[in-house]
Structure 1
Amino acid sequence: MSGAGYAAQLAEFAAACRDGVPQGILHDAAARTMDCLGNSLGALGPHGERDPRASPQAAALALARAAGGAAQATVIGGGLSVPADRAALVNGTLAHALDFDDTHLPSVLHPTASVLPAALAVAEATGADGTALLAAVAAGGEVCVRLGMASYDPDLRNSVFFEKGLHATSICGTVGAAVAAGLLYGLSAVELAHAIGIACSMGAGVIEANRTGGSVKRVHCGWAAHSGVCAAQFAGAGVTGPPTVLEGRFGFLTAFLDDRWHPEPLVRGLEDMGAAENWEYARTVFKPYPSNHFTHPGIDCALALRADGLRAEDVVGARLGVASAPRRTIGEPRAEKTRPRTPYHAKFSGPYTVAAALLADPALTGPGVRHADFTPEALADPVRLSLAQRVEVLADERCEDEFPLAFSAVLEVRTRQGRTLSARVASSLGGPGRPLSEADLEGKFRLNAEPVLGAARADEVIAAVRALPEAPGGAAAALLPLTEPG
């Protein structure tokens, strides 16, 4: 395998996953399936916009309904069956709509939101069993994050994708989605390599919306899932891709990353994936708060000060220290971050999310920052906006050293009483060293799903996810809620 091109090596790894993956990896893929389904349902709930003119997820659903076509795969949350690629588009848009999806470090991308929607659509279309579905999710997720890791520049301490304003999640997610879909379509290793080669011409996404707003970013994972399914279908129909599509002079890595990519993370340990420790995808961390992951350590700091008795009304000024790369996303431009234009834009604001955490009711159980903090009503709250104006986001040297292997922050607050209080976290909740438990993940699923499904149907979906490793053919259909949104 080592003498083949990188696409062929990744394809051979993926094809071998049909013969089995470690049990721990199947369990991890099931946990990610539940998390992603919950996030998708949350986007259909009371905190996800319904107006197609304002909501990408509602727009995607409306367009799928209008287009029609062969009934191959189910749209999450709706009683609608459409062609597999169209279901992947809608479900991938839902998966990323609340920015509640899992994050891989140090590539800083969200693999599951592209890969799982593609896998679910094709698994339903082909009648795959639960083990095949989970193996496809694991293999596609692994390819996705390895491409992201190849982009990590140790000198920059950041992904080159992000330095160039490119959305690694949707670009690498397209290739991962093609691998997952191709496995479930029964493609051979040679055909999977072609699917990778085709998908490399389809991945796209820019992240200016993180800085200044716009709703298109929420479509990125849907388009990646849709494109991945199409790439696998093209490969199955005989379309081919270049064997050097990843490493070639005009290949994926050079085209997106210039000469600043690293081959070693792409193929490290591929010949021994029977060892669970070689799986990078399993290191992907879950989010406890429905906002951009860069905001999470600041939220943790604010909640810690709140728990120690700090009252929001006593805050005169605050300085949030993070690494320089997160600062560019959650702190700049300052005028946009202290007064976000939309609830979704607020999810990418350090000042706004710190204010939300400082205003959190300490008597409430569960996450300190919630869906309710990202509504038009919350965004119009003058108390919240005034507090956000008092938060300055700065680069912190210690956080710089810790990024991106962990998302860390320090929050220093000056009070009306003349005191200076501070809190520091070396890794945000859910990150390395502070993982969410199975009970936490189930609670997160219920938080997202129950407003849409009700408690009884949420219980059924949880049970179906847990049963996936032994589930027979048609396993995907048991996961997909049948309620009609709205």
Structure 2
Amino acid sequence: MKPTIAQTLAEFAASHRDDVPAAVRTDAVGRLLDVVGNALAAREADGATEPAQVIHAVASRRGGLAEAGTLFGADRLPASAAALVNGTLAHALDFDDTHLPSVLHPSAAVVPAALAVAEAAKSSGPSLLAAVAVGDEVCNRLGLASYVPRLRNSSFFERGLHATSICGTVGAAVASAMLLGLSDKQISDAIGIAASMGAGLIEANRTGGTVKRIHCGWAAHAGVEAATYAAAGITGPPTVIEGRFGFLQAFLGDDQFPEEITKDLGERWEVLRTVYKPYPSNHFTHPGIDCALALRAQGISAADVVSAELGVAAAPLRTIGEPRPEKIRPRSGYHAKFSGPFAIATAMLGGGGLGVYLDDFTDAALTDPARLALAAKVTVVADPICDDEFPHAFSAVLRLTTHDGRTHEHRVHSSRGGPDHPLSTEDIEAKFMLNATRVLPSPEAADVARRIRDLPATPRVTSMLAAGPPATTRT
């Protein structure tokens, strides 16, 4: 009998416990650097990351077995609770990687789950890297099954579902199951269990609420729990993915492409097509930021601008351009990350990091009258060229009309960090240090980076903050 999709994924995972291609292993090191750096930066207690502080406080109060550390540095929690805390931190700043064309963020759910289980299970560095790579791969391929060519969008997003938290739960379960040493059958069961646990709605992107910032934490937590339950004997339906009442039908209806999940599995690694973010905002805002930075570099200032038109694909427009009142006056620094108009204003007036940085998206930035005034001048429209390019690349065109009556235009066909302009290894390292040194002294941040780079030769994974509670001031 032909294996089901869950069984095929389980066999793939079991066959790659410690053996992934060299390029994939190297990529996994980058994923860990990126997630850990993002999570460390998110420890700062401000309005943008308060949910992470709340989740950490709740998890610490509940206590339990001291199995794994958190990136807050001071305590050890049960593995699933540590995954919850670290996953919430990993996604809190919206600085996490993105797979195209599924448009989901695999590593923010998979890496925290894998880190927690690897520490609890005393796994080796190569085992951790393999689990991260395979977990991300499974997450990405589930996302690919949702991409509808006629819509040029994911069916998850068309239905208001957060693909990252739904697919990330299954990816986190697979990574956790690998590190627990589960059999093919048990990994398939873990997939079957996790498929009942993934959830997430994206309405918060449009109109507010802090719940989205815990989606990846919950996915990581649920993935660890699913694998743990499978190890203890709970079973899942073998047809959980493609069945009549399975994952694809329940979440996607008829807009599903199950063949994409296993097509060239193990030969073509989708994780290698997962791109890093240079800016800490919703990825749909990035090409507009690139355009604004380019025009700013040409000598155009915010004071010169009378009006601005940002052209993007129709699908992103709904996230970063609607409803307009919420986008020109975001209600918090976090919600500003999902605003095309505010991103343009920030790129014209702010700066730092790799061009736009965390301090540009704080609640305090919303009190800047110049930014709000410029954001109000920006109209977001659908652009047919961007429609054709989406979602295989995020593109945009920005037209600024200045007081002298001239119109200045800049178009990008693939945003910085995207498929045509990937971040270099040096960029990823620089991003990590920039993020980590917001809360760690430079020597400690450099030590964390070194230990992540050394994972291919590490016999036993320990907490990323093994030296103990870090300093809370910048150096």
Q: What TM-score, normalized to structure 1?
A: 0.95
- State how 1:259-298 maps to structure 2 within 5 Å: 259-270=254-265, 273=266, 275=267, 278-298=268-288
Calculate percent identity across the aligned residue pairs: 60
Match of residue 166 from structure 1: 161
Q: Determine if the alignment matches structure 1 residue 477 to structure 2 residue 463.
A: yes
- Matched with 1:175 is 170
Counterpart among 414, 419, 422 of residue 401 in structure 2: 414
C-alpha displacement at 1:477, in angstroms?
2.4
Match of 2:21 in 1: 22
Deviates more, 1:373-382 or 1:329-338: 373-382
Deviations 1:296-341 (A, max 9, x none): 0000000000000001001000000000010000000000000000
The amino acid of 1:55's aligned partner reads E
> Which residue matches 2:335?
345
Residue 257 of structure 1 and its aligned partner are, at CA, apart by 0.2
- Structure-2 residue corresponding to 1:327: 317
- Superposed counterparts of 1:105-120, under 5 Å: 105-120=100-115
Task: Give distance in 2, aligned partners of 1:166 and 1:217.
Answer: 11
- Equivalent residues of 1:194, 1:242 under 8 A apart: yes
Q: Distance in 2 between matches of 1:141 and 1:476?
A: 21
Is 1:130–1:476's contact at 8 Å kept on the other side of the alignment? Answer: no
**Contact residue 78 and residue 485 of structure 1 kept, 8 A:** no
Match of 1:56 in 2: 51
Amino acid aligned to 2:42: A
Q: Equivalent of 1:367, from 337, 354, 367?
A: 354
Match of 1:32 in 2: 31
CA contact (8 A) 2:437 2:445 kept: yes
Cα deviation for residue 480 of structure 1 reads 5.4
- 1:465 aligned onto 2:452: yes
Counterpart in the other structure of 1:210 = 205
Conserved? CA contact 2:136–2:171, under 8 Å: yes
Matched, 1:314 2:309: no
Q: Which digits, 9 at most, give the CA deviation of each residue in 1:218-260, with x for residues without a partner?
A: 0000000000000001100100001110000000000000011
User: Structure 2: any 5+ residue segments left out of the alignment?
Assistant: none
Aligned CA distance change for structure 1 residues 19 and 441 (closer, same or farther; 3 Å): closer
Is the CA contact 1:77–1:485 (under 8 Å) kept in the aligned structure 2? no
Asked if 1:433 corresponds to 2:432, the answer is no
The alpha-carbon deviation at position 476 of structure 1 amounts to 3.5
d(CA) in 2 for partners of 1:397 and 1:195? 43
Would you say 1:401 and 2:391 are equivalent positions?
no
Q: Cα distance, 1:482 vs. partner? A: 2.9
Alignment partner, residue 93 of structure 1: 88
Question: Hey, what does 1:358 align to over in structure 2?
Answer: 348
More displaced, 11-20 or 143-152? 11-20
1:195 aligns with 2:186: no
Shift of 1:121: 0.3
The structural deviation recorded for 1:264 is 1.9
> How far off is 1:77 after superposition?
2.8
Q: Number of aligned residue pairs: give it.
A: 472
Matched residue SS, 1:439: helix
> Match for 1:206: what amino acid?
L
Q: What is the alpha-carbon distance in structure 2 between the residues aligned to residue 232 and residue 485 of structure 1?
A: 34
Q: Is the 8 A contact 2:439 2:470 kept in 1?
A: no
Give 2:6's aligned amino acid. A
* Secondary structure of residue in 1 paired with 2:309: strand
Q: State yes or no: 1:377 paired with 2:364.
A: yes
CA change 1:128–1:304 in 2 (3 A) is same
- Which amino acid in the other structure matches residue 472 of structure 1? P
Which residue of structure 1 aligns with residue 8 of structure 2?
Answer: 9
Compute the displacement of 1:360 (Å). Answer: 3.1
Question: Are 2:234 and 1:239 equivalent residues in the alignment?
Answer: yes
CA RMSD in angstroms comes to 1.3
Cross-structure match for 2:126: 131
Please state whether the residue corresponding to 1:17 is helix, strand or coil: coil
Deviation at 1:281, TM superposition (A): 1.0
SS state at 1:317 partner: strand
Aligned to 1:104: 99
Do 2:192 and 2:236's aligned partners in 1 also have CA atoms closer than 8 Å? yes
